[in-house]
């Protein structure tokens, strides 16, 4: 039974991670041919560093991810606060559903609707529209993460602060905010990786001069995969993994989740 | 902003016609309560009786559906919690986990200067015997120490009334009895009004000057422990404060001295109390005298012992009477006690039996 479990687990993990592992291994391939192993080398990382358009795309991706994650964290937290603290206002269930709906909405549809919106408002597609789109993507996740933390928070802590003479703004700044801060950080990091990963939304709402890393990689792959792409992807996977691990560590710490 | 500590001058708290409903559920109904300066009052009742809601109404966490709360002559009904010179010690203690013990205690002292604040924190730490614990985090403390930090924090602003929600509920038994004494001594020393919510009658008797018994959102009776024990308002209060025998009957008339004569299933019985019509006699087990033969003075009720329990200082007996009802009798252990199956005669001094109205 235990052996069976182990086999099942290995199969599952292998199915999930073997492709990524192969990608990482081939990023250290000395050969210019993707599928032929020519010995260990870091030469493609050198090529990558010298690739100006790719570096520019990475810069755009990082700028957009920072801005979008920031916006998503602020607005997602406000939404979570309103839903948790607003009492039983009319339509609260509907609003809760509306916040969570984008989590399961096909990105193609979100992208298309945002594109229509931007065109309708006459907004030039570029960095700004990318940030708005990615903030929309991350907002729901932030609301879910922060909302869970708020629900787990002992309300008597805030009552105790008010009881000791703190007006509501001081209660929020000195008690609520410090206690939900780890979940805010986790939510920010998750929104950040969502933005960094996204290709579909970006394809819809990006414009000239605002090509993100996934867009750049995708367009290069269409011309043929080369080991440089493997190297770039490896870096992206590494970054995202580090961020997700940090986020789960933040939410998993004692007294936080 | 009420961030400057108010002087410890005793205020007079008055709740008048106070009511609170949550949807269709009535948590507190038409409640009147007046606190004398420096008084220690316990609100006693089972969970869900509204005692915690009453505390939260006084603290300002809930808005009353009806009635007013006045403190020292000022109407505070509409004041938010941070404007009330009233502090609360929470059942969970609600210590801020991200702050040190000293920062927790200093939280309510933001109106003071740094030096004055430090001095006050040190004074409070001494008061609760936690000198040197200032830099510690709450999660490194034991339950008893956390309880004392919560107490110090709630006392920091020298409130006119201190509200304590099950303050000893989370402590183990030995620590609880020790802490009861400390709490009582602290209240006497400070002269602050304490209102303690508890579900434990023994705790209420040990702590309070007056006990307010709550049942289903109403304050059924308020008074000192002895008057509640001797003269309960209804069968709920009678049963809450200790073992009691309840004998229903109909009041027939009154003798000189206020003793009422009742017609019961056991024949005519007498008791003290003002009730008319249908009534219930509350008779404490230790008030009943036990004899093997009927004594000369007064009526004695024949019965048969069905169970005896030796309790060290006393013996608890269950006696079946002529009408089939079982009375609990508590007799001193030194007497040669009748055994199971023996016939006995029970009598009691009628002025130590209390007549309550049946409907209340």
Q: How far is B5 from chain A (nearest CA, A)?
A: 9
Report the chain A residue with the minimal C-alpha distance to residue B163: A163
Element (H, E) at B303: strand B301-310
| Pick among 3.30.10.20, 2.40.50.140, 1.10.490.10, 2.60.40.10: CATH of B243-357 | 2.40.50.140
Interface test with B, best of A164, A169, A183, A256 (most B CBs within 10 A): A164
Indicate yes or no: CB of B90 within 8 angstroms of CB of A156.
yes
The answer as to whether A4 is a domain residue is: no
Distance set, CA B229 to CA B51, B142, B216, B247 (Å): 20, 36, 20, 16
Closest-CA residue of chain B to A156: B94
Instruction: Please state, in angstroms and rounded to a whole number, the distance separating the CA atoms of residues B140 and B222.
Output: 40
Residue A111 belongs to some domain of the structure: yes
Q: Which residue of B has its CA nearest to A158?
A: B94
User: What's the confidence (pLDDT) of residue B212?
Assistant: 95
CATH of the domain at A151: 1.10.3720.10
Kindly identify which residue of chain B lies nearest to residue A180, measuring between CA atoms. B98
Task: List residues in chain A touching B: CB distance below 8 A.
Answer: 154, 156-157, 159-167, 170, 174-175, 178-179, 255
> Which residues of chain A neighbour B96 with C-beta distances below 8 Å?
157, 160-161, 175
Residue B59 forms contact with A (CB below 8 Å): yes
- Answer yes or no: is A239 within a domain: yes
Chain A residues touching residue B156 (CB < 8 angstroms): 164
In a domain, A133, yes or no: yes
Do A29 and A44 meet the contact criterion of CB atoms below 8 Å apart? Answer: yes
| B246/B226 Cα distance (integer angstroms) | 18
- The answer to whether B98 contacts chain A (CB < 8 Å) is yes
User: Nearest to residue A233, comparing CAs of A26, A11, A82?
Assistant: A26
What is the spatial distance between Cα A226 and Cα A175, in angstroms, rounded to a whole number? 52
Chain A partners within 8 Å of B91 (Cβ): 156
pLDDT of residue B298: 62
Taking an 8 Å cut-off on Cβ atoms, the answer to whether B97 and A163 are in contact is: no
Out of A165, A174, A255, the one facing B2 most closely (by C-beta) is A165
Could you read off the pLDDT of A133-150 as tens digits, one per residue? 999 999 999 999 999 999
CB-nearest to A165 from B3, B88, B97 is B3
pLDDT in tens, A40-95: 888 888 888 888 888 899 899 999 999 999 999 999 999 999 888 876 677 778 88
A222, pLDDT greater than 90? no
B87 vs A contacts (CB less than 8 Å): 163-164
User: Cβ contacts (< 8 Å) between B94 and chain A: which residues?
Assistant: 154, 156-157, 159-160
Output the average pLDDT for chain A.
87
Give the closest-approach CA distance of B328 to chain A in angstroms. 44
Q: What percent of chain A has pLDDT over 70?
A: 96
Q: Write out residues 134-153 of B within 8 Å (CB-CB) of A.
A: 139, 153
Please report the pLDDT score of residue B304 as a whole number.
Answer: 92
Q: Do A161 and B107 touch (CB under 8 A)?
A: yes
Taking CB atoms and an 8 Å cut-off, how many pairs form between chains A and B?
Answer: 64
In chain B, where the domains are located? 13-85+157-235, 243-357
Q: Which residue in the set B80, B94, B110 is minimally distant from A160, CB to CB?
A: B94
Interface test with B, best of A87, A154, A160 (most B CBs within 10 A): A160
A164 and B157 within 8 Å at the Cβ level: the answer is yes
Which positions in chain A touch B80 (Cβ < 8 Å)? 162
Contacts of A179 in chain B (CB under 8 A): 97-98
Tokens 């000195």 correspond to A174
Provide the pairing of β-strand B218-223 with B245-254.
unpaired
Yes or no, beta carbons of B88 and A167 under 8 Å apart: no
Fold of B13-85+157-235: Rossmann fold (3.40.50)
Q: Does A217 fall in a domain?
A: yes
More confident residue, A229 or B321: B321
Q: What is the dihedral of CA A23, A25, A30, A35, to 10 degrees?
A: -50
Q: Give A116's pLDDT tier (boundaries 50, 70, 90).
A: very high
Q: How confident is the model at residue B10 (pLDDT cuts 50, 70, 90)?
A: very low
Q: Using CA atoms, how far apart are residues A202 and A205, in angstroms rounded to an integer?
A: 5
In angstroms, the separation between the Cα of residue A147 and the nearest Cα of chain B is: 20
Kindly state whether residue A257 falls inside one of the protein's structural domains: no
In the 3-class helix/strand/coil scheme, how is chain B assigned residue by residue?
A: CCCCCCCCCCCCEEEEEEEEEECCEEEEEEEEEECCCCCEEEEECCCCCCHHHHHHHHHCCCCCCEEEEEECCEECCCCCHHHCCEEEECCCCCCCCCCCHHHHHHHHHCCCCHHHHHHHHHHHHHHCCCCCCCCCCHHHCCHHHHHHHHHHHHHCCCCCEEEEECCCCCCCHHHHHHHHHHHHHHHHHHCCEEEEEECCHHHHHHHCCEEEEEECCEEEEEECHHHHHHCCCCHHHHHHCCCCEEEEEEEEEECCCCEEEEEECCEEEEEECCCCCEEEEEECHHHCEEECCCCCCCCCEEEEEEEEEECCCEEEEEEEECCCCEEEEEEECCCCCCCCCCEEEEECCHHHCEEEECCC
The predicted pLDDT at position B3 comes to: 41
pLDDT digits (tens, 9 = 90+) for B156-191: 999 989 999 999 888 888 888 888 988 999 999 988
Chain A residue numbers touching B139 (CB-CB < 8 A) = 255
Whether residue B96 lies within 8 A of chain A, CB to CB, comes out as: yes
**How many independent structural domains does chain A possess?**
1
Nearby residues of A41 by Cβ (< 8 Å), 6 or more positions away:
A28, A29, A30
Please check whether residue B290 is in contact with residue B308, taking contact to mean a CB–CB distance below 8 angstroms.
no
The least confident of A83-87, A117-121, A197-201, B325-329 is A83-87
B contacts of A160 (beta carbons < 8 Å): 88, 90, 94, 96, 153
Per residue in B38-90, pLDDT (tens digit) is 899 999 999 889 999 999 999 999 999 999 999 988 899 999 999 999 999 99
Residue B245 and residue B283: Cα distance in Å, rounded?
5
**Closest alpha carbon within chain B to A162:** B82
Domain that includes residue A149, residue range: 51-252
Length of chain A: 257
Can you tell me the distance from the alpha carbon of A87 to that of A95, in angstroms, rounded to the nearest whole number? 13
pLDDT at A257: 34
Say if CB A157 and CB A195 are below 8 A apart. Answer: no
3-class DSSP state for residue B148?
Answer: helix
Considering only CB atoms, which chain A residues are within 8 Å of B166? none
Answer whether residue A13 is part of any domain. Answer: no
Which of A163, A253, A256 to mutate: most B Cβ within 10 Å? A163
Residue of B nearest to A176 (CA): B96
Q: Give the ipTM.
A: 0.82
Between A228 and A175, name the one with better pLDDT.
A175
Position A230 in a domain: yes
């Amino acid at each position: 039974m235990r052996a069976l479990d182990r086999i099942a687990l290995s199969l599952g993990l292998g199915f999930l991670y073997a492709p990524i592992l192969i990608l990482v291994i081939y990023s250290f391939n000395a050969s210019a041919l993707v599928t032929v192993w020519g010995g260990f080398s870091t030469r493609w990382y050198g090529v990558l560093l010298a690739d100006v358009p790719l570096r520019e795309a990475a810069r755009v991706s990082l700028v957009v991810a920072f801005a979008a994650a920031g916006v998503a964290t602020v607005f997602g937290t406000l939404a979570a606060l309103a839903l948790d603290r607003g009492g039983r206002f009319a339509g609260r269930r509907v609003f809760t559903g509306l916040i969570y709906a984008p989590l399961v909405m096909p990105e193609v549809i979100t992208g298309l609707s945002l594109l229509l919106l931007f065109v309708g408002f006459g907004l030039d597609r570029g960095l700004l529209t990318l940030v708005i789109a990615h903030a929309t993507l991350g907002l729901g996740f932030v609301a879910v993460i922060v909302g869970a933390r708020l629900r787990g928070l002992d309300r008597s802590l805030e009552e105790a602060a008010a009881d000791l003479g703190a007006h509501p703004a001081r209660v929020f700044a000195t008690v609520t905010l410090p206690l939900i801060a780890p979940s805010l950080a986790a939510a920010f990091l998750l929104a950040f990786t969502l933005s960094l990963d996204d290709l579909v939304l970006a394809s819809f709402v990006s414009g000239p001069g605002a090509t993100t890393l996934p867009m750049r990689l995708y367009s290069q792959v269409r011309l043929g995969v080369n080991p440089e792409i493997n190297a770039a992807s490896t870096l992206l996977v590494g970054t995202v993994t580090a961020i997700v691990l940090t986020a789960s560590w933040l939410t998993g710490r004692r007294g936080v989740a | 902003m009420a961030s400057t500590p108010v002087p410890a001058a005793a205020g007079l708290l008055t709740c008048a016609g106070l009511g609170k409903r949550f949807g269709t559920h009535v948590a507190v109904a038409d409640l009147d309560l007046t606190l004398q300066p420096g008084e220690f009052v316990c609100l006693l009742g089972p969970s869900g009786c509204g005692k915690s809601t009453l505390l939260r109404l006084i603290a300002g966490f809930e808005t009353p559906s009806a009635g007013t709360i006045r403190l020292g002559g000022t109407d505070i009904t509409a004041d938010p919690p941070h404007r009330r010179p009233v502090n609360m010690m929470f059942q969970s203690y609600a210590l801020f986990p991200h702050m040190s013990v000293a920062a927790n205690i200093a939280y309510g002292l933001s109106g003071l200067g740094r030096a004055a604040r430090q001095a006050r924190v040190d004074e409070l730490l001494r008061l609760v015997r936690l000198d040197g614990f200032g830099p510690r985090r709450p999660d490194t403390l034991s339950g008893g120490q956390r309880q004392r930090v919560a107490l110090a924090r709630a006392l920091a602003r020298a409130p006119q009334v201190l509200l304590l929600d099950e303050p000893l509920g989370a402590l183990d038994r030995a620590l609880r009895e020790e802490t009861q004494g400390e709490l009582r001594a602290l209240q006497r020393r400070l002269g602050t009004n304490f209102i303690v919510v508890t579900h434990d009658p023994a705790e209420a008797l040990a702590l309070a000057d007056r006990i307010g018994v709550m049942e289903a959102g109403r304050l059924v009776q308020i008074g000192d422990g002895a008057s509640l024990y001797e003269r309960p308002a209804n069968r709920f209060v009678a049963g809450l404060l200790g073992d009691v025998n309840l004998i229903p009957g109909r009041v027939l008339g009154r003798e000189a001295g206020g003793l009422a004569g009742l017609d019961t299933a056991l024949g005519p019985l007498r008791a003290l109390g003002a009730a008319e019509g249908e009534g219930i006699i509350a008779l404490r087990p230790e008030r009943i005298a036990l004899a093997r033969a009927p004594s000369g003075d007064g009526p004695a009720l024949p019965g048969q012992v069905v169970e005896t329990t030796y309790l060290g200082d006393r013996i608890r007996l269950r006696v079946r009477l002529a009408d089939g009802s079982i009375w609990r009798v508590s007799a001193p252990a030194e007497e040669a006690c009748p055994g199971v199956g023996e016939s006995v005669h029970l009598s009691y001094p009628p002025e130590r039996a209390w007549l309550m109205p049946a409907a209340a």
